[in-house]
Amino acid sequence: FPVTIHYDFQLAKYRVEVKTWSNTSQPQIYISDINQIIYDTVNPLYLSVIQVSKDLNNGKNLAEIVDQLLLSLTNSQKDIFLSLLSDAGYLVGQRELYAEKFSIIKQDFYLVGREFPRIEYNQVSPCITSVKYCINLNGISKFLVESPL
């Protein structure tokens, strides 16, 4: 489960940050916090980029995916999962908000190395309190790797 503010998953030997983009948009991802993309040799960061497409016939909506995940969890895991969803702004009692259906087109993994394009904390004045930016996926193909999972 995502358990920290800066990235989505902390596993034994590495971290994973998950981003999505739609096939109706430019191939780019949005970075919403300066600490999401950090180069680290001890706990490497993999960027999992998932391309989705609206799919009314065969796709799944967010509520359906949540229901499917809940079926595979123990009661204590369900409590943690639902709490994390709530923290992320997911409203369990308002399924109609999540009616739009999507299918996964593809998933790519990028290893965040020293040369990976990012804005680092030490590059920003302490007077700047928030940084958001986009990364063009066409420009980071040299960082593509096999899935670490």
For the chain, list residues with pLDDT below 70: 1-6
Q: How does DSSP assign 19-30, residue by residue? A: EEEETTS-SEEE
pLDDT digits (tens, 9 = 90+) for 52-62: 999 999 999 99
Is residue 29 within 8 A of residue 37, CB to CB? The reply is no
pLDDT digits (tens, 9 = 90+) for 121-137: 888 888 988 889 999 99
The structure's pTM equals 0.81
State the Cα–Cα distance between residues 40 and 10, nearest whole angstrom. Answer: 13
Q: How far is CA 57 from CA 20, 53, 98, 100, 103, in A?
A: 20, 12, 15, 11, 10
Is residue 135 within 8 A of residue 28, CB to CB? The reply is yes
Closest CA to 49 of 122, 130, 138: 138
